A and B are shown apart, each in its own frame.
Chain A
Amino acid sequence: MRQVFSKMRQIYAVSWMLTKRTLVIEVRTSRLGWLWPLMYPVAYTVLFLTLKPVMQPTGSSGFDYALHVFVGLSLWQLWFEGLQTQMRAVKAQRSLLSRADLDPGALFLSGFFVQAVYLLPRLGLALVLAATFGSLNSIWSAFIFVSMSLAVVLNGSVIGFVLQPFSTLVPDIGRLIQSLSLALMLTGGIFVVFPQDMNENTLTLLALNPLGPLVDTARSQLLVQAPHFEWAPWVWSGITVMSLAVQIRLSRKVLPVLLERLGG
């Protein structure tokens, strides 16, 4: 047991060092640094607000719609970037992996930590806006919002982690995910507002995209509205955690195969 804890401590320490390395590199090589996590969601929120009368004339508007889009885009971007980071992790860190006994779990964790750090300013802005304009009504809602947001980021990272062996060896998989991104955004309700009285069958279909239930549940806490999905967010959270536990074990066996086929 002691060895297991010691190993977990080492994995955590290494993953944190890798996270700091990534963040330090970002800060040193970018003038805008910490503004970048906010620029994408803020800029596109303004754009969607401007285009709303044309794209979706009915439904909520003003602050509610802005918050809806801002939270959706923030979580979408981190979900998608987390997924891609994990899919490319072995190729990107090949040099390091071939020189040190880097546990794949540490590699996964560092990718997730980086996304979680980028999540902080977005969550902060969303919470401040929601609290200021009165839609956030309790600490418990804020807690659920933050937890579900982390679940979204974790879900994207885990999916990328599971796909990692296949995307490393079959580059077409990465391109396929890229080409499906718009479909994922639309069916995930990232900037589309789903009506409250949706058909059960439609909801079940939409629940197959993990983004939909998870983002919807997170967002509903800030907008004080009933979430569309009842059980789907918790099922997806459970699948995420179980997949992570299994994949960490499998990735240790598979990593040498990936490094071998990548060559160098």
Chain B
Amino acid sequence: MEILLQVDSVGKKYARSMRHSLDYGLRDAISEMTGRGRSLTLRTEEFWALRDVSFSIRRGECLAVLGGNGAGKSTLLKILSGMLLPDGGRVDKRGRMEKMIELSGGFSPVLTGRENVALRARMLGLSARQLAERMDELEAFAELGESMDMPVQFYSTGMRSRLGFALSVVMRPDILLIDEVLAVGDLGFRMKCYERVDEMRRSAAVVLVTHSMNHVARMATGVLVLNKGRVAYDGAVQGGIVKYQELVAGGAKPKETSHRSELIEFFLRTPHGNLLDGASTEFGAPVVLVGRHGAAEPLTLSVILGEVKGHALMEWNSKRSGFVFKPGDDFQVDLGPLQLCPGLYQVSIIGFAPDGRQVFLSRALSFKVTGEYFNSIRLQPLGQWMVVRSAAIESTEVQDFVT
């Protein structure tokens, strides 16, 4: 398959202040006019937003570009789309490019949806005949009905996005740039969007900028991870997801919210040994929590498993199991196989006095779960899948229908 997009050592500088930005803009404009080209050195108040980024994409491939806020994803997308000129390197494109970026913008509010489509399509190089051929397809896709002949200023944001999306999909581009907008509208319309983008993915080269690992796992054939403007990873999808999660979570240490943490010590034990703070364990590995508390009164314990930057996911409460631990007791709880989506998690323990008073909150022990990424749903129990006799579907009783 031919290479449709080739990016070689692309770099981009920005100025931190508006005054400098306009001044440098004037100098760059004069340099462009006189054919002198741009300076590769940093001027006062400038910084590299993107540096030495290289990759290539063939027809039928989808490259997901991941990175935290300020990593350079949008800058890269703007360079690829031609909105920005790189300050270093070059971009070679073959064929027609379509950009799914801020779909609800760029329409003339006084003109109708149909008129806006006609204007945009002609600007993108479609002839009047080609536009006429595709207008029916566009109207059917956008599902705007009579609203197509209303001024766009009366459209909701969702309607504008649908119009913008429909316009993008009927252009049949060779290169498709998608900036966080994989689907818009209600659920039914979103399914249509996914279906169409999937179709386009097979016949075009796609660059997908997204924060959704679901989309990455589902659509990408490769991942490029950016960190502070540089390439941190360029390769297979699963590896890219892991790298991205490391970068995003590594930058945000869990807040130290312990209380009297000296009263509890614990560790997690796996078949491979103790799980140290920040270490990895595989998906589904059995984990046992072992610990000792030093409080002066009997306690019930609550073990909380949650995301490093987010919500609690599971709790094991000794009170529910009827256990009360006396001062100095060693304890153990089998957490079972940790069937969690690959990512970063933490475990902490709360000790409660018999009267319900919280006695201590331990420091969190964080760990990483590794494995194949399917989607972003955190709890992914394997369940017990089996083939059953067809009668099982019709029966209202729980019976053993294993064939």
Contact = CB atoms under 8 A, between A and B. Distances in A.
Partners in one complex: yes
Contacts of B105: 95, 99
A106 B124 CA distance: 13
Nearest to B38: A257
B25 A98 contact: no
Interface residues of A, number: 31
A4 interface: no
Contacts of A258: 25, 29
14 contacts: A17-B118, A24-B111, A98-B83, A166-B26, A166-B29, A169-B26, A170-B22, A250-B32, A254-B33, A256-B82, A257-B25, A258-B29, A260-B85, A261-B21
Interface residues of B, number: 28
Contacts of A29: 110
B251 interface: no
- Residue among A25, A28, A170, A256 facing the most chain B CB atoms (10 A cut-off): A256
B90 to A, nearest CB: 14
- Residue among A18, A100, A253, A260 facing the most chain B CB atoms (10 A cut-off): A260
- Residue among A24, A99, A250 facing the most chain B CB atoms (10 A cut-off): A99
A29 to B, nearest CB: 6
Interface in B81-130: 82-85, 99, 101, 105-106, 108, 110-111, 115, 118-120, 122-125
A174 interface: no
Nearest to B31: A257
B139 interface: no
Given A13-B122, A165-B29, A170-B26, 17 more contacts: A14-B123, A17-B118, A18-B119, A21-B115, A24-B110, A25-B108, A25-B110, A28-B110, A166-B26, A169-B29, A250-B33, A253-B32, A254-B33, A256-B84, A260-B84, A261-B21, A261-B22
B38 to A, nearest CB: 9
A97 to B, nearest CB: 8
B307 interface: no
Contact of A169 (B22, B115, B119): B22
A61 B14 CA distance: 61
Nearest to B123: A100
A96 interface: yes
B83 A254 contact: no
B180 interface: no
Contact of B32 (A10, A24, A98, A257): A257
Contacts of B22: 169-170, 261
Contacts of A200: none
A13 B129 CA distance: 13
Interface of A: 10, 13-14, 17-18, 21, 24-25, 28-29, 95-96, 98-102, 106, 165-166, 169-170, 250, 253-254, 256-261
B25 A260 contact: yes
B28 interface: yes
Nearest to B101: A99
A28 B33 CA distance: 39
Contacts of A260: 25, 83-85
Interface string B6-41: 000000000000000110111011001100000000
Nearest to A262: B25
B123 A256 contact: no
A98 B84 CA distance: 9
Contacts of A18: 119
Given A96-B106, A256-B85, A17 B32 contact: no
Interface in B190-238: none
